[in-house]
Amino acid sequence: MRRGFALLAAAAALLTGTIAARATVIVESRVDDAVVAGAGMPRTLSEFGFFADGRGHEPASNVHPYALNTPLWSDGADKLRFIYLPEGTQLTADGEGLLQFPVGAAIIKTFAFGEGAARRLIETRVLLHRADGWTALPYRWNAEQTEATLALAGGRIDLVTPAGEAISYAIPNKNQCKSCHSKDGQVIPIGPKARNLPADWLGQMVSTGALDRVPNGAGRLPVWAARTATDSAAPLARAYLDVNCAHCHQPGGGASNSGLDLRWEQDASHALGIMKRPVAAGRGAGGHDFSVLPGQPDKSILLYRMDSAEPGIAMPELGKSSIDREGVAVVRRWILEMKTE
């Protein structure tokens, strides 16, 4: 009998060891560099090899999770962000702006709604740095949550936001990806700026050789999730506008003809919309005369457009099917706190 138990224990140990070995192999799986850097458009997300599993998003070798101090808002979606760097390469810091990525790198962002067993992965967007520049590709997750498939034409999904609103969530098509990620006609990343990345994360990347140095201004943008009602509204609002609006509203951006420059580093009040008349006063102006009227948020075009989900009025035009009430509240308070002459 004891010998039988011993054999069972040995078999169990062998099985456990085999499972552990398999798990180790999976976790240590590697990204397919030829797929990332090649000219093709893989049909499924798994072809890249970014993750050792599907729904759990266990990153493969050289895939680095990261977070932003002030994240871009997308109907309240939770976002899982990752950077992939080929073996032997690293990011380079260039001031407090965008980190510079080597050819063969990728940026991966998955959008999810819900918590626990009810959590659903909706889409994963990838930016691939290839020899001829950046390529943006959207992938839509299946109902079984086992795979995401290339969605060049985008798509719509009915869901309920964390705020309890039923919306038709929009997955952007490939051209819409370009419209937000475009500057001077070139597709570029917009998220991983040194000023919006936690300084401790940047330090860890330096310690592992994945980044050349911790740049000045690292982590300068406020941590949105840690804000309080007594914090000054100005840095919060400026950070929010930088992250959610400035990729279009800056020189060379898709909305540069508006004359607005909402980047964090912009100091000129007129460029920020303060006492600036709109270039074209259509429905989007809401009958107001200035983009930002100090002390008068309800007479400011910028807030009017932020506080709308109606097509033709709502800003941003893409990536939004509902209103970010918290973002609106911060920008409202910023305008209210402005000194009037």
* Packed helices 233-244 and 325-337: angle between N→C axes, nearest 10 degrees: 130
Q: Are 203 and 241 members of one domain?
A: no
- β-pairing, 63-66 vs 133-141, is unpaired
pLDDT at 1: 40
* Per-residue pLDDT, 193: 94
**Same-domain pairing of 51 and 155:** yes
Shared domain check, 188 and 145: yes
* Euclidean distance between CA atoms 36 and 254, whole angstroms: 27
**Do 160 and 83 lie in a common domain?**
yes
Average pLDDT value over all residues in the chain: 88
Tell me the C-alpha distance between 324 and 145, whole Å: 27
Least confident of 163-167, 176-180, 194-198: 176-180
Can you read off the two tokens belonging to residue 55? 């729904």
Indicate whether 87 belongs to any domain. yes
99 & 161 share domain: yes
Would 229 be classed as within a structural domain? yes
Chain-centre distance for alpha carbon 114: 18
Is there a single domain that holds both residue 332 and residue 230?
A: yes
Of 154, 176, 207, which one is at a domain's C-terminal end? Answer: 207
- Verify that 53 and 174 share a domain, yes or no: yes
Whether residue 157 is contained in a domain is answered as yes
- At residue 27, does pLDDT exceed 60? no
pLDDT band at 270 (very low <50, low <70, confident <90, very high): very high
- Report how many domains make up the chain: 2
- Structural domain contains residue 294: yes
| Mean pLDDT for the stretch of residues 212-223 | 92
Contact (CB, 8 A) for 125 and 138: yes
- Residue 234 and residue 337 in contact, taking contact as beta carbons nearer than 8 Å: yes
Q: Give yes or no for residue 300 having a pLDDT over 80.
A: yes
Based on the domain organization, do 244 and 178 belong to the same domain? Answer: no
Do 112 and 233 belong to one domain?
Answer: no
Q: What is the mean pLDDT of residues 247-260?
A: 88
Q: In which domain, by residue range, is 326 found? A: 224-337
The phi and psi torsions of 82 (rounded to 5 degrees) equal: -145, 150
Q: Which residues, including other chains, have CB under 8 Å from residue 277's CB and lie 6 or more apart?
A: 289, 290, 291
Residue 163 forms part of a structural domain: yes
Q: Do 294 and 179 have their domain in common?
A: no
Cβ neighbours for 268, distance < 8 A, ≥ 6 positions apart = 261
> Residue 341: which pLDDT band, with cuts at 50, 70 and 90?
low
Sign of the alpha-carbon torsion through 303, 304, 305, 308: positive
Which of 207, 241, 259 marks a domain boundary? 207
Share of the chain above pLDDT 90, in %: 70
Query: Looking at this protein, which amino acid is placed at residue 44?
Result: T
Residue 167: how many other CB atoms lie within 10 Å: 18
Same domain, 160 and 289: no
- Are 90 and 173 in a shared domain? yes
89 occurs within a structural domain? yes
pLDDT at residue 216, rounded to an integer? 86
Tokens of 192: 């991983």
The rounded percent of the chain whose pLDDT value lies above 70 is 89
What per-residue confidence (pLDDT) applies to 5? 35
Check residues 56 and 143 and name the one with the higher pLDDT.
143
pLDDT tens readout for residues 97-109: 999 999 999 999 9
Tens of pLDDT, residues 71-80: 999 999 999 9
Residue with tokens 């909706």: 122
User: How large is the greatest C-alpha to C-alpha distance in the chain, in angstroms?
Assistant: 93
Angstrom distance (rounded) from CA 43 to CA 148: 9
Q: State yes or no: pLDDT of 6 exceeds 70.
A: no
Point out the domain boundary residue: 175, 207, 239: 207
